[in-house]
A and B are shown apart, each in its own frame.
Chain A
Amino acid sequence: GQSLEQPSEVTAVEGAIVQINCTYQTSGFYGLSWYQQHDGGAPTFLSYNALDGLEETGRFSSFLSRSDSYGYLLLQELQMKDSASYFCAVRENSGYALNFGKGTSLLVTP
């Protein structure tokens, strides 16, 4: 089986930095993805890590440690519009299917 663990809720102040962690236990591993979903909206792709290390895309960065089965999403210079749910997802095999975590609800306050 597989499982992904991430915090259910995180609150941070506008302008601050927040880190959302994700640990996983899977039978196979090809990569870790992050998706953002606003209330009432669809998930949208943020980043993907197949190899250890940090991937940076603007204010968002994602990190992966395969040996620790751990990754995180780092959001810098938080804005009110960043209030949303963030999902980590694992690609377990050579197919393209993803298994999603339960999501972390991020609330950015003034």
Chain B
Amino acid sequence: DAGVIQSPRHEVTEMGQEVTLRCKPISGHNSLFWYRQTMMRGLELLIYFNNNVPIDDSGMPEDRFSAKMPNASFSTLKIQPSEPRDSAVYFCASTNLLSTDTQYFGPGTRLTVL
């Protein structure tokens, strides 16, 4: 199994630019999670999907953030416009109904906004 795939692995952009992070969950998994990790705030849940439907987006910091899951094998997290305080590592994770106790994390995208 390829595991959760995220792209890009590193992104450097300038303030005000649009950033799109991509995630491919493990095949057969029906729940997908987006997390953000910083030294100050730790690992924060931004949003999660069940069967491609957003269930809880209360962790999305503000309207500049949006997430979509058009099908079971692809999700995007978009930041527009980006700000320096958005600099963090963004993780995508997935799980399925048979192993809901276990979330499988992707390698993460390290975002730097200058």
Contact = CB atoms under 8 A, between A and B. Distances in A.
Interface of A: 31, 33, 41-45, 48, 50, 87, 91, 95-103
A50 B102 CA distance: 12
The list of the 10 closest CB pairs from A to B, nearest first, reads: A48-B101, A42-B105, A100-B43, A102-B42, A45-B102, A96-B100, A96-B31, A43-B105, A97-B48, A42-B107
17 contacts: A31-B101, A42-B91, A42-B105, A42-B106, A42-B108, A48-B101, A48-B102, A95-B48, A95-B50, A96-B33, A97-B33, A97-B48, A97-B56, A98-B45, A100-B45, A102-B42, A103-B42
Contact of B95 (A42, A96, A99, A101): A96
B103 interface: yes
Interface in B47-102: 48, 50, 55-56, 91, 93, 95, 100-102
B42 A101 contact: yes
A27 to B, nearest CB: 13
Interface size class for chain B? Answer: 20 to 34
B105 A96 contact: no
Q: Is the interface of B mostly helix, strand, loop or mixed?
A: strand
Contacts, number: 53
Nearest to B55: A95
B100 to A, nearest CB: 5
A42 B33 CA distance: 14
A43 B50 CA distance: 21
A76 B12 CA distance: 41
B59 to A, nearest CB: 9
A43 B36 CA distance: 12
Contacts of B102: 33, 45, 48
